[in-house]
Structure 1
Amino acid sequence: MEDGGLPVSKWKDLHTDILVRILESFDISELTSGIAHVCSEWRSVCRDHLLRRKLDLSMMKSNFIKIPLEPYVYVDGRSDKTLTRILKTSLSLSRGNIMTLVFHFNLFVSDDQLTYTAER
């Protein structure tokens, strides 16, 4: 297809190695929330083992709410749901290729989330 005499390329036709390099600059939240859903080609690249060997969640923190009763803190449901969504999408895309998990020290990970992750 041409536009004014110049060839027009489509994003989905971008060479895989170049696309992998570009996608490596995004954090896991950006990859799982939208980029992997652009087209089948991009989803395939997001599954690439180079992107998925390390699941780095070090940028994610839980939103804690102080409460007057024990345990004196409560994890905001939105941050918990966000973590669950990212874990499920990332583990689905990885197809078992994740070798390393990195968590922020201020990220609350529930037993159910850890069990889900370990099983996959």
Structure 2
Amino acid sequence: MEDGGLPVSKWEGGNNDILVRIFQSFDIFELTSGIAHVCSAWRSACCDPLLWKKLDLSMMKSNFIKIPLEPYVYVDGRSDKTLTRILKTSLSLSQGNILTLVFHFNLFVSDDQLTYTAER
């Protein structure tokens, strides 16, 4: 397709390796923010196994309050929902290619979230 005599290229015709290289510089928040929904080429690049060898959640911390009764910690709902969204998106994009999970010491992961992660 031409626009004013100059050829116009589309992402679909581009090199997937270049997109993967760019996406490698993104953190987990940027990678799971919806860039996979831009176009099919970006979706393909977001699913590349090179991006998903290690799922590093070390920058995530939960907002929590220690309580004297079980479960001994109350986790703020927003923290919990953010972690669930990131886990679901990451596990979907990774297509089973995650080899290592890294959690921050103050990130409270529920049994359901761990089970969901382990099953995928």
Q: TM-score range by the shorter chain?
A: 0.7 to 0.9
Aligned CA-pair RMSD: 1.8
Alignment check: 8 A CA contact 2:28 2:57 kept: yes
TM-score scaled by structure 2?
Answer: 0.86
Could you report, residue by residue, the CA deviation over 1:48-101 in whole angstroms, capped at 9, with x for unpaired residues?
11011111111211122x47x525752110111111111111111111111000
Unaligned runs of 5+ in 2: none
What code does the residue aligned with 1:83 have?
Answer: L
Letter in 2 for 1:70: P
Equivalent runs, 1:27-66 vs 2, <5 Å? 27-64=27-64, 66=65
SS at match of 1:33: coil
Aligned-pair identity in percent equals: 82
The normalised TM-score by structure 1 is 0.86
Corresponding residue for residue 10 of structure 1? 10
Shift of 1:109: 0.7
Structure 1 unaligned spans of 5+? none
Tell me the distance in 2 between the aligned counterparts of 1:78 and 1:30: 18
2:80 aligned with 1:70 = no
